[in-house]
Amino acid sequence: MRTTTRVVVPIILVVAVSLFVEGHNLPGGGFIAGVLTTTAFVVVYVAFGLDFLERGVLGREVEPGKTPSRDRVVAAYRRLFAVGLALAVGSGLVPLVLGYPFLSQSYVVLEGIPIYHHLEVASALAFDFGVYCVVVGGLLTILSVVGAE
Amino acid sequence: MIAQTSAETVVIAPMLVALVSAVAALLAGRRRRVRSVVALGGVVGYAVAVGALAWTVVLAPDAPGIATYQVGGLAAPFGITLVADALSAFMLSMVATIALASIVFSRRYAAHSGSRTFYYPLCYFLLLGVTGSFLTGDLFNLFVWFEVMLMASYVFVAYYGGPQHTRAAFWYVALNLLASAVFLLGVGGIYAVTGTLNMADLARRLADPAAYGIDPVPVVGLFALLLSVFAIKAGLVPFQFWIPTAYRAAPPPITALLVGATKKVGIYAIVRLSFTVLAGAQIGVSLELPIPGLGVAGDSPLAFVGAALFVMAAASILVGGLGAVGRDSIEGVLAYSSIGQIGFIAIPVAIAATTTSSGLRQVAIVAALVYALNHTLAKGLLFLAVGAVRSATGTSRLAELGGLAGRSPPLAIAFFVGSLALVGIPPLSGFFGKFLVFDAAARAGSAPVLGLLLGGSLLTIAYATRVWNRSFWGARTPAVDEATVDPVQVAVVLALAGAILAVGVGFEPVYRFAELAAEAALDAEGYVEAVDPGGELE
């Protein structure tokens, strides 16, 4: 189980990023990328336990099974949720300031970039990133609170 | 992309204020000072935004009467259109009043309960859902706003987390999930039949189905599905059973908001879809019942809507009135009473749907709107008063209350005004509501309806008197003796009582506003023209 996790988690995260980046032209986007990212976390949780993220990855001292250890992570998840929501709403408000309707989107094509040569930057990416944060933050809060019980 | 002028931005402003307030309240988190500033500032901003909308679109001397907004700059019928006309503005003004009262009242209420971090964000999401429902001009978008509103109200019904709250929330969630599924089914069916979900486009296509090559007959049945969903939201019999438990379980300021805002969304949706969208359709309707003499026939789908509403409204008045007389807590009485009162609002809507005279139709819609306004103010006041009683004495059971009038005269005066408005005594707003409803019924010349309304009114007097006698008069109970009444809460309740009196005394402008709203509801052509759904699908 743990060996599989080590192999699978990076793959899941890369696929999530690719889904996120192409979301405005192809199937994909913030929501589905967020869900996929969460599954990577879930696999880690199931294989290594709920405290592993703090102890093993962030290198903090944690007493196993205590609620405060989890609370710190959960508080971070909640913040992610709120910030993501603010980002999504804020990205909708920007066009309003510039004199366009709420949630208007646009894109810029950048030429002459190394490796890519041709890169399309869509303003929808900001909104999508907000959605991504909301999904990851919300799902992980639910999973770690319910999972701890 | 279409550039937008600031005059059009005013249409979306109330929604943006609610949305930004919700996010700001969420970011404020546990910081107490910031949270209450955001909470108060948000709702004041909301009221200002609604006021600006009502003034620039409807009430100003050179107002256009209707304004639209294309979200994201995508043209109708492909993008989502927001439409503000007099009907939306009237409903929004009503909601803004009760939201202001409810959130100021919550300041003390939310401070004492747990999980208060999420109280205000959810409040604003509830408000956002209600606002969106009133403004949207797209059927699927209406579904989305219903869901936004429901998500927030689910949490509020389960807010205190006790066994009875969990049970109430369970039924509430189960019922509304079913309703959402039915709603989605209806919306999907309408799209399959007509090829559009934009309300203006829908109205245009239904009025002239041959030109668009569609067969509109299934729309009547699909609309019946939607009607049942809206009846659940409004709490009409036979979909009333969730109301008493849910209203008892939610925090009282939220109950005031639910009764004042979300219930009215159901009524608004019925009025908007029946008269703006469906009215132009010419579809023969004939429904034979096994009992001779009972049946529906007409050449407009409205005949069917009217008949269904009549039955539901009549049953609501009886069930609500009779149920309210026997309850043992103030909230119980008020919850049943609101079932009955929604019946009083639905009766004129039904009259408007069945009649063919456009004059009577308008009179009846005005009656429904004025009654809805009165119900929002009076019932909102009474539920907030119950909240004040509960935070002062710790109970709202009639058996444990008594002599409240001597303990806190201002609270008693406000409660008295609210009860009288419910009964319909001049010069309060309730008198005009009742008067207009009776007037519409008399003009329709229907003696059974008049008798029903009279009976319902008598029941109202009976339960209002009973609550007053049991809790405010009589000997003081121990719970009342030890009570300390919160001055802010009493001030809010008194302000609402003042509003009821002001609406009653200065009724002329309110009536004009309601008349404009009724005109807007019936003016399907103006609606289509303003939205301008544009060319055909290729």
> What does B2-44 look like in DSSP terms, one character per residue?
----HHHHHHHHHHHHHHHHHHHHHHHTT-HHHHHHHHHHHHH
Residue with tokens 């559009």: B196
**Which amino acid would we find at residue B39?**
A
Distances (CA, A) of A52 to A11, A48, A68: 20, 6, 14
HEC string of B475-490 equals CCCHHHHCCCCCHHHH
Whether chain B has a CB inside 8 Å of the CB on A76: the answer is no
Cβ contact, residue pair B1, A83, below 8 Å: no
Cα end-to-end distance, chain A, whole Å: 23
Cβ contact, residue pair B1, A82, below 8 Å: no
Is residue B145 within 8 Å of residue B91, measured between CB atoms?
no
Whether chain A has a CB inside 8 Å of the CB on B29: the answer is yes
Per-residue pLDDT tens over the stretch B118-137: 888 899 999 999 999 999 98
Mean pLDDT of B291-301: 61
Whether chain B has a CB inside 8 Å of the CB on A75: the answer is no
Q: How many helices (H) and strands (E) does chain A have?
A: 5, 2
The values of phi and psi at residue A49, to 5°, are 95, 165
Distance, in angstroms, between B4 CA and closest chain A CA?
5
Tokens of B244: 């008493």
Cβ contact, residue pair B72, A86, below 8 Å: no
Average pLDDT of chain B?
86
Give the residue from chain B lying closest to A103, CA to CA.
B72
Which pLDDT belongs to residue A118? 66
B71 vs A86, A102, A106: nearest CB: A102
Cα–Cα distance for residue pair B128/B141, rounded to 1 Å:
13
Which pLDDT belongs to residue B269? 94
3-state secondary structure (DSSP) of residue B446: coil
Phi-psi region of B300 (alpha: psi -120 to 50; beta: other; left: phi over 0): beta
Which pLDDT belongs to residue B373? 94
pLDDT at B187 over 90: yes
Q: Where are the domains of chain B?
A: 6-393+401-526
Cβ contact, residue pair A86, B1, below 8 Å: no
pLDDT at B309 over 80: yes
Confidence class of residue A49 from pLDDT cuts 50, 70 and 90?
Answer: confident
Is residue A41 within 8 Å of residue A143, measured between CB atoms?
yes
Q: Which residues contact B451 (CB under 8 A, 6 or more apart)?
A: none
Cα–Cα distance for residue pair B194/B182, rounded to 1 Å:
18
pLDDT at A43 over 80: yes
Percent of chain B topping pLDDT 90? 43
Percent of chain B topping pLDDT 70? 93
Cα–Cα distance for residue pair B69/B91, rounded to 1 Å:
18
pLDDT at A115 over 50: yes
Cβ contact, residue pair A101, B4, below 8 Å: yes
Asked which of A94-103, B467-476, B517-526 is least confident by mean pLDDT, the reply is A94-103
Tell how far CA A142 is from the center of its chain.
15
pLDDT at B6 over 60: no
The residues facing B212 across adjacent strands are none
- Give the highest mean pLDDT range of A3-17, B273-287, B396-410, B470-484: A3-17
Mean pLDDT of B74-83: 80
Task: Report H helices in B235-328.
Answer: 243-249, 252-257, 263-271, 301-325
Which pLDDT belongs to residue B86? 92
Average pLDDT of chain A?
78
Mean pLDDT of B437-446: 88
Q: How many helices (H) and strands (E) does chain B have?
A: 23, 4
Asked which of A16-25, A32-41, B527-536 is least confident by mean pLDDT, the reply is B527-536
Which pLDDT belongs to residue B297? 63
3-state secondary structure (DSSP) of residue B85: strand
Whether chain A has a CB inside 8 Å of the CB on B113: the answer is no
Whether chain A has a CB inside 8 Å of the CB on B7: the answer is no
Q: Smallest Cα–Cα separation from B264: which of B44, B446, B517, B10? A: B517
Q: Residue A96: list chain B partners with CB under 8 A.
A: 9, 16
Which pLDDT belongs to residue B288? 59
Confidence class of residue B70 from pLDDT cuts 50, 70 and 90?
Answer: confident
Tokens of B181: 């599924």
Is residue A37 within 8 Å of residue A16, measured between CB atoms?
yes
| B167 CB neighbour count, 10 Å cutoff | 13
Whether chain B has a CB inside 8 Å of the CB on A121: the answer is no
Which pLDDT belongs to residue B63? 80
Tokens of B58: 């409807």
Cα Rg, chain B, nearest whole Å: 22
